[in-house]
Amino acid sequence: MLLMLVRRALSGLAVVVGVVTLMFFLLRLAPGDPARLLVGPAATPEQVEAQRRALGLDRPAPEQYAAWLGRFVQGDWGTSIATGRPVRAMLAAAWPATIRLVGLSLLLSYALGIALGALQATRGGRLDTALSVLSVALFAMPGYWLGLMLVMLFTYRLGVLPAFGAAGFDADYLTGWDVVADRLRHLALPLATLTLVGVGGTARYVRGAMLDVAGSPFVAIARAKGLSPARVALRHVLRNALIPVLTLLGLSLPALFSGAVFIEAIFAWPGVGRVLVEGVVARDYPVVMAATAVSAVLVVLGNLLAEALVSWADPRVRDGGGSAMPGAGT
């Protein structure tokens, strides 16, 4: 198991390097010049060129990449072109908000999705049909559209939930439970958006996994022993169906982080995704590169955690008999 996780870690490192390399050169190909944005539209060509030299943008792209990578691995993430702040300080202030949003969304979407999928698989009939329609609709719904609809309903129509930020303007003057209530109210809409999209996919996957397991011989033997339907469903069907669901956890993390980027931008949530979007708009290369690298590392660590959970839950993987991740053995 340890050797397998080491191999996965090395593969994850290669993924991170590939992602940041691709992002670096795509930024150079994208329209817009950060030097011109920095000096303003009234600057002369000589002033723009002087600013490009000061930022090191006059050198060939491979040379710029080698210099950036060397500084980055040494812990020097550079300074924001747009704000002049150290990039590490900006991301250090932003990443806890992203982890809080993504972590809670992951917990809720899997808890609700497993419950919904188990209910569909065990009850069947019209309830299964209705919940299937609901889960497919949630899964197919674009997250940014759902977020805007929730803002329209709960902020502008009902006026019960704030739409922007992680705390109110009067947060510094609140104490005790008022602080908790204010943070929860601001968290509600972005968390609901990410969670509702994730619930649909998880429910569909759990339903299919449970129906597959329900046809296994050991389930028929459990029923023949006279065990109650609820006991068979929970201890034999759901328990064995959750192993591939752990695989889904690792596969869903990249989509969850990419979705969080748009959600943070929509709700002005002060996380890494918002910093990344603002950096792209401002052509702030150091911020975009550092935020991309941090997001890639978080996704890889999440996949390693999912792989470890699968290995712990499935003895076949733990003993080296195979991997629960699709395509891992090819």
Read off the pLDDT of residues 38-88 as tens digits, 9 standing for 90 and up.
777 777 888 888 888 888 888 888 888 888 888 888 888 888 888 888 998
* Packed helices 177-214 and 239-266: angle between N→C axes, nearest 10 degrees: 140
Please give the pLDDT value at position 247: 72
Q: What is the mean pLDDT of residues 200-218?
A: 83
- Decide if pLDDT at 282 tops 50: yes
Please give the pLDDT value at position 327: 38
Q: In whole angstroms, what separates CA 239 from the centre of its chain?
A: 26
- Decide if pLDDT at 298 tops 80: no
Q: What is the mean pLDDT of residues 120-133?
A: 85
Candidate ranges 55-59, 226-230, 289-293; pick with highest mean pLDDT: 289-293
- Decide if pLDDT at 103 tops 80: yes
CA gap 143, 266 in Å, rounded = 10
Please give the pLDDT value at position 316: 58
CA gap 295, 289 in Å, rounded = 10
Domain boundaries 2-31+77-318, corresponding CATH code:
1.10.3720.10
Q: What is the mean pLDDT of the chain?
A: 81
Q: How confident is the model at residue 320 (pLDDT cuts 50, 70, 90)?
A: low
Q: What is the mean pLDDT of residues 292-320?
A: 72
**CA triplet 296, 302, 308: central angle to 5 degrees?**
140
- Decide if pLDDT at 319 tops 80: no
Residue-wise pLDDT for 152-198, tens only, equals 999 999 988 888 888 777 777 777 787 888 888 989 999 999 899 88
**In degrees rounded to 5, what are phi and psi of residue 167?**
-155, 160
Contacting residues for 18 by C-beta, under 8 A, at least 6 apart:
none
Please give the pLDDT value at position 317: 55
Contacting residues for 214 by C-beta, under 8 A, at least 6 apart:
121, 237
Give residue limits of the domains in the chain.
2-31+77-318
Contacting residues for 13 by C-beta, under 8 A, at least 6 apart:
300
Q: In the chain, pLDDT over 70 holds for what percent of residues? A: 92
Greater model confidence, 124 or 113: 113
Environment class of residue 306 by beta-carbon count within 10 Å: exposed (0-12), middle (13-18) or buried (19+)? buried
